[in-house]
Amino acid sequence: MRWYWGMLLAIVLIVAVPVGGLWLWGRPRAHVPLPTAATTPTEVIRSYARAMNERDFGACKRMGVGDAGDARANWTTLHGPEIRDLKIDDVADVTTGRLAAKDPWSDPDLRHWEQTVVVDTTETVVNFDGQPDPEGHVYSFELVRHGSSQQWRIYSYGEG
């Protein structure tokens, strides 16, 4: 009977220790405050990168519209890349949603937003294994808001 309790304890430790370690690794290291209406589009992107680095995936999601700010990560995943050497390459002029939606490459749903702006960045991404990607990634973020009294939110982003 003693071997039974020893085996049960070993199984619990084999399961509990890795799950506990994963929880400790994946929890937010700090909570990043959400941008306000006075925050510039550039600072919204910097806040998003800071939230990714601090593993505050809830803040990342709240900075986006729909799934746009979703880092597709949470405490149970190890997919939380660290963003290093974030450089803002270009900030386009703010356009009204109707004008932004006329661009043939643009999403027609942009016409529902009063203001849109595109922010181009270059960054180095360091994955969980600690190795940085050998080349910088170029990302474009499209931010939207309904008016100057509201905060900028990430509508879409992607490489290129």
134 — pLDDT class (breaks 50, 70, 90): low
Strands (DSSP E) contained in the chain are 82-91, 95-96, 115-126, 137-145, 153-159
Q: pLDDT digit string (tens) for 23-81?
A: 666 677 788 999 999 999 999 999 999 998 888 888 888 998 877 777 666 655 556 67
Q: Which residue has the tokens 């808001």?
A: 145
For the CA atoms of 51, 56, 61, 62, what is the dihedral angle to 10 degrees? -80
Answering whether pTM is above 0.85, one says: no
Q: What is the DSSP letter of 39?
A: S
